[in-house]
Amino acid sequence: MEAAQTNYIGSIGLKPSMGEVIEMMASAPATETTKTKFECRDVEVFYSDKRALHGINMDVPDSGVTALIGPSGCGKSTFLRVFNRMNDTIPNARVAGQILMDGQDIYSKDIDPVLLRARVGMVFQKPNPFPKSIYDNVAYGPRIHGLALRKNDLDNIVEKSLVRAGLWNEVKDRLKEPGTGLSGGQQQRLVIARAIAVSPEVILMDEPASALDPIATAKLEELIDELKEKYCILIVTHSMAQAARVSQKTAFFHLGDLVEYDDTQTIFTNPKDQRTQDYITGRTG
Amino acid sequence: MSANAKTSIHQTDQALGRLAKRKAKENRFRYAGIAAVVIAMVMLGWLVVSLVGTGYTAFFQHYLTITVTLSESDLDPHGARDADQLRKANYRKIIQQALYSRFPDVTDRRGKRSLFHTVSASGATNQVRQMVYQDPDLVGRKITITVPTSDDVDQLLKGHIDRDAPEDLRKVSDQQIEWVDQMVASGDLTLEFNWRFFTSADSRDPELAGIAGAVVGSIMALGVAFMLSVPVGVGAAVYLEEFAPHNRLTDFIEININNLAAVPSIVFGLLGLAVFLNFFGLPRSAPLVGGMVLGLMTLPTIIIATRSALRAVSPSIIDGALSLGASHTQAVFHHKVPLAASGILTGSIIGMAQALGETAPLLMIGMVAFVTEIPTSVMEPASALPVQIFLWSDSAERAWAERTSAAIIVLLLVLITMNAIAIFLRSRLERRW
């Protein structure tokens, strides 16, 4: 499966269709079971009185990519924002239930959301680089967390992060130029570099490719595939082909319920729930 | 009609008629818009032309060159060169003698008096007094000096006094006109740039009055207003917008801030009078008090401008900062406030420009006083530009009319400069990214 995936990445523009991906997966061994990163117990999210998520129970593995799919308004983005407590910033939003990260409740009083967000990075739907230089974009996180004491250390972190985000070769000669001047795909990879510069354990991605063209999307998927070796990745996506290509586990949400959660291969080849099947075959959603 | 010739409903005569109507409507609107712009431009042009037309002559002033004899017997009869004695001496006589010797034909008292009134009486005497006081060695010598003419002579030569009017309806007598014409012909009476207008403070005599005192007073008051209202206003706005809980109290505060922005400025003047002067006992007519009143008046404008600038910052930037583990305060001060800076600055400068033109509150706290010194500190009595315009416009002599217009031109120039600075700073701050 690794080989198959890197193959198509080598030839951008020849992305395998969803059918081909599923065929590839069918021939690949099932993902081996790993440690659990997040345990979600009866997670509910309310916006004022409206309940957006109805008691989600789900374990997120420590490694690999977990995709959250479902029709618009199904609560997948809301669920993603539970993991770094970004819902805290929305007035009137309330989270109930338990989310354990490595066994510790991230909504307990001992957890400071500021430190949690340093451990759980996030990439948004629309690339949102700061209106600062490329260098300052990446250096911002390490600076506020005091991760680099000397200029030299900071330079190293910036370079390493940009290399890891696959952007270094494109921007190394113009680190002082504004990050907002990059193309959409480059901006999204800059934002990823910015996120990994603070050494998170988890990266949340909220439809990261929805504003990108197919070539930039392919590059981004290639990057996600590399990053999953080092980080636990949760990705919300509208593209089922993308979920099939990049993820090992897939969760299907519908109207605030977690309908089905299984190995990606199983979800796309042998869904147990009729709603999942209707959605992935394009009959609904 | 065959089936092939069947036309779309958008090609029928009725449809074309509707289209023509729609176009006519668009054209009517366009003409109305052009007419509005033309009317606005004409009114503005009228204002500027009339101001500059009456005001530009105040930038020039007629000066008379005369030779005065600083005789020792008049100035320093004891020969001690005592500073006090030199100050008290009769310089009026010196000027008079210089003029009488120039026109020896004039012998009667009335004629002599009216001859003396062709020069600025206090202007000329003070000028000579200053020279002698600073350099006592001048006593006993004969020097040539250039002194301002009286405002009536100046107005006559500028054409503002009608020579053909009957003598008893004219401020200048036939005799005076004759002398003036002789002095112009001899080249002693010349038109020069009126530096005094930009370097001195107010005076009873129009030919000696200047705008400098008012400009300095306005700048001081604005400085005080800026230092008070910008930090307080921006701080209040950032707190209310970003940190304050949303409850009845903050709603109430918000409503009151919006109401304060609409409160007539004279009310702020009364507040200043009651609080700063009567309660705290601060000096009257001081730019410090004027600035504090203007600052209070500008506060709501700055708060409202800052809040809307903060609201205009894309929330995705703040989400980005928060998702990296920035605290709320860091996200606000590292990203939101810098991105809103150009808007905050524009709002502040517009508020300051408003304050610059404000007259009513300054009248209440006594900045309407007649001040002949350029203030050197914010505690000294001072006037302000709009108040100076108000004072001059109220004065009787013909010469004040052109000075009032000239002062308005200066005020408008200061305003234009401030707005230009605002535009420049905004484009600088925005161009950075």
Q: pLDDT tens across A155-208, in order?
A: 999 999 999 898 999 999 999 999 999 999 999 999 999 999 999 999 999 999
Query: What is the structure's pLDDT at A24?
Result: 60
Residue to mutate among B314, B317, B323, with most A CBs inside 10 A, is: B323
Going by pLDDT thresholds of 50, 70 and 90, the confidence category of residue B412 is very high
Strands A36-47 and A50-61, by their bridges, are antiparallel
Domains and CATH numbers, chain A: 2-36+62-86+109-280 (3.40.50.300)
CB contact under 8 A, A86 and B323: yes
Q: Is B332 exposed, middle or buried (0-12, 13-18, 19+ CB in 10 A)?
A: buried
- pLDDT at residue A27 is higher than 80: no
| Averaged pLDDT, A24-43 | 70
CB contact under 8 A, B323 and A84: yes
Q: pLDDT tens across B98-145, in order?
A: 999 888 888 888 899 999 999 998 899 999 998 888 888 888 888 999
| Averaged pLDDT, A131-143 | 94
Q: pLDDT tens across A15-24, in order?
A: 666 666 666 6
Chain A residues within an 8 Å CB radius of B322: 86, 89, 117
Q: pLDDT tens across B197-222, in order?
A: 999 999 989 999 999 999 999 999 99
CB contact under 8 A, B330 and A144: yes
Chain A residues within an 8 Å CB radius of B321: 130, 140
- The residue in chain A having the minimum alpha-carbon distance to the alpha carbon of residue B314 is A128
Query: What is the structure's pLDDT at B1?
Result: 47
Chain B residues within an 8 Å CB radius of A211: none
What part of A 189-208 touches B (C-beta under 8 Å)? 191, 194-195, 198
- In the numeric block, the tokens 């990050």 are attached to A179
Going by pLDDT thresholds of 50, 70 and 90, the confidence category of residue A26 is low
Residue to mutate among B250, B324, B429, with most A CBs inside 10 A, is: B324
Chain B residues within an 8 Å CB radius of A114: 325-327
Domain ranges across chain B: 60-193, 212-431
User: What single letter denotes the amino acid at residue B279?
Assistant: F
- The residue in chain A having the minimum alpha-carbon distance to the alpha carbon of residue B326 is A114
Fold of B212-431: MetI-like fold (1.10.3720)
| Tokens, residue B287 | 């730019």
- pLDDT at residue B235 is higher than 80: yes
Which residues of B fall below an 8 Å CB-CB distance to A? 246, 314, 316-317, 319-327, 330, 334-335, 339, 432-433
What phi and psi, each to the nearest 5 degrees, are found at residue B102? -75, -35
Give the number of A-B residue pairs with CB atoms closer than 8 Å.
63
Q: pLDDT tens across B387-402, in order?
A: 999 999 998 888 999 9
ipTM for this model: 0.85
Going by pLDDT thresholds of 50, 70 and 90, the confidence category of residue A63 is confident
| Averaged pLDDT, A58-73 | 91
- pLDDT at residue A4 is higher than 80: no
Chain A residues within an 8 Å CB radius of B335: 130
Chain B residues within an 8 Å CB radius of A198: 324-325
What percent of chain A has a predicted confidence (pLDDT) above 70? 87
Query: What is the structure's pLDDT at B72?
Result: 82
Nearest to A121 among B323, B330, B433 (CB): B323
In 3D space, the residue among B222, B224, B236, B221 whose CA is nearest the CA of residue B299 turns out to be B236
Residues 6+ apart with CB under 8 A from B396: none
Query: What is the structure's pLDDT at A33?
Result: 54
Q: pLDDT tens across B152-164, in order?
A: 999 999 988 888 8
- The residue in chain B having the minimum alpha-carbon distance to the alpha carbon of residue A205 is B323
Angle CA B351–B357–B363, to nearest 5: 115
Residue to mutate among A82, A88, A92, A114, with most B CBs inside 10 A, is: A114
- pLDDT at residue A72 is higher than 50: yes
Mean per-residue pLDDT over chain B, rounded: 90
Query: What is the structure's pLDDT at B138?
Result: 86
Strands B60-69 and B189-193, by their bridges, are antiparallel
| Averaged pLDDT, B90-105 | 89
Strands A93-101 and A249-254, by their bridges, are unpaired
| Averaged pLDDT, A225-250 | 92
Query: What is the structure's pLDDT at B234?
Result: 95
Residue that wins the pLDDT comparison between A27 and A170: A170
CB contact under 8 A, B326 and A144: yes
Q: Are B284 and B365 in contact (CB under 8 A)?
A: yes
Q: pLDDT tens across B249-304, in order?
A: 999 999 999 999 889 999 999 999 999 999 999 998 899 999 999 999 999 999 99
For residue B315, the distance in angstroms to the closest alpha carbon of chain A comes to 10
Chain A residues within an 8 Å CB radius of B334: 140, 144
- pLDDT at residue A6 is higher than 50: no
Query: What is the structure's pLDDT at A14?
Result: 52
CB contact under 8 A, B320 and A194: yes
Chain B residues within an 8 Å CB radius of A111: none
| Averaged pLDDT, A259-275 | 92
| Averaged pLDDT, B65-75 | 86
Residue-by-residue DSSP string for B16-84: HHHHHHHHHHHHHHHHHHHHHHHHHHHHHHHHHHHHHHHHGGGGEEEEEEEEEE--HHHH-TT----HH
